[in-house]
Amino acid sequence: DDHLQLLTSGLSTAPPRQQTLHATIEWSYRLLDRTEKAILNQLSVFRGGFPLEAAEQVVSGAGIAPRQVIPVVANLVDKSLLTTYETRLGTRYRLLESVRQYASHRFEETADTTTIYRRHQRWCLALINDLWERAVGTGQSDLTEALESESDNLRAALDWSRTASDHPAVVVLSQALGW
């Protein structure tokens, strides 16, 4: 469950930043500016992948302007902290799981997580509503593909909604995952 603890020691002759996976990620993290750190930390709420629009909706606010998100995401890709991949539905972004876990630990330490988790939940619920509205006839194949590509995010939003005792959201998210 915790990739960062998987490698607890390395070559004693290697530089400290290369002795463990945690040290390597921490070294890269320290090279980021404050905004890059904040956005990376907040992106850790996403599981699996996410489209750029989702990042803009979830991350912008609380000192981060919407216009800052795209350039920072591009910088994080350039710094190999985010990866991109193509699907039939468009370009998606993803944090490697060990990087996501590191950023998540940092996020839990330094921020009001409730606001970001609530935005992530709202984004998931809005996505579901949009997909249901378009799921008529031939739109069902797009619905299935979109739900499959977002299943990790929907599960994360469901887990948070259960923890927050947001029962209406739990019902909607459960139905979407069941479909």
pLDDT digits (tens, 9 = 90+) for 124-150: 999 988 888 777 666 667 777 888 899
Residue 64 · residue 39 · CB < 8 Å: yes
HSE (side-chain half, CA atoms, 13 Å) at 36: 18
Q: What b/e readout covers 64-81, taking b as 16+ CB neighbours within 10 angstroms?
A: beeebbeebbebbeeeeb
User: What string of DSSP letters covers 90-141?
Assistant: EEEEE--HHHHHHHHHHHHHHS-HHHHHHHHHHHHHHHHHHHHHH-STTHHH
Predicted pLDDT at 16: 57
Q: What is the pLDDT of residues 58-100, one digit of tens each?
A: 998 868 888 899 999 999 999 999 999 998 889 999 999 999 9
Q: Which residues pair with 91 in a beta bridge?
A: 86
Could you give the CA distance from residue 115 to residue 132 in angstroms, rounded to a whole number?
26
> How much is the average pLDDT of 10-16?
54
Predicted pLDDT at 7: 46
Predicted pLDDT at 136: 66
Predicted pLDDT at 163: 93
C-alpha dihedral over 117, 118, 122, 123, to 10 degrees? Answer: -30
Answer whether residue 164 shows pLDDT above 90. Answer: yes
Tokens of 153: 């995010």
Q: What is the pLDDT of residues 37-64, one digit of tens each?
A: 999 999 999 998 999 999 999 998 868 8
Predicted pLDDT at 2: 54
> Could you tell me which residue, 110 or 92, shows the higher pLDDT?
92
